Structure 1
Amino acid sequence: MDVGRFVAKNRQHAVWQGLMEEQRELLQQIGIAALPPERETPAKGPGAASGAFEKGVAALAQYKARTGPVGPISRSHTEVIVIGGQEHAVKLEIFLSNTKSRRAKLTPDKLQQLAALGLEWAHKG
């Protein structure tokens, strides 16, 4: 039996709650305590840049603000953006290539966002 796995499993809040009182007491006697319950991830509000598309658009807007009109971008270029205090690395050319190849499936709103950033192919959605 893998003792580490046993301890890790039984420390989980939901598992701990399912143990009998005597089992919990035995574990506590040998120094094993329950972990706190996992917090639910707060729901993202509308407009929160959480998805790949939103991150890509934010990275493209940042790139454009720094360099001017969007021209050819190196495939290896990574644009680092900060959203909610957290850094995200976006491989910009890969995002653009993937998005362009899927443009027929993009909503008019998404195409409009890309067109506003100067992508000609987004006008032809």
Structure 2
Amino acid sequence: MDAAEAGSSLGQTRHIDRASARPPLPRWVPLVCGVMFGAAVVLQGPNGGMSGLTAPLIGLALALGAYALIVAIRARQGAPRRPVSAAPWITTVVAAGALSTSSLNSSNTSELRWLYVASGAVVAGIVWYRLQRKAR
């Protein structure tokens, strides 16, 4: 066995080992999580119907619920948890805080609302795509 053949065999073994350690998600999970995360982003925008921080807190609950759903499904599948870096979480919290603050201080909320709807649609699409690749 030469070096190229051994490297190929080792690469295939690692790929099979990773695939068995992370079983695929059920088909419904990407859609549900994408909608939940997208709605969470939309609720961060200016909302005339709800007072104060009600809408942003509902959005936060939706995002945490989607994350908890994925964690619960992975735990039920027996998949090991990956170590999580703090940098993406800090960036997300700062960005959400900046968007929420700008929505509370804005005077023209009708035009700004479309920004949040578009951002929510983009986030829903990204979450769906990323999770869909891991679904059955």
TM-score (norm 1): 0.23
Higher relative contact order (CA 8 A, sep 6+): 2
Higher helix share goes to which structure?
2
Higher strand share goes to which structure?
1
Question: Which protein is bigger by CA-based radius of gyration?
Answer: 1
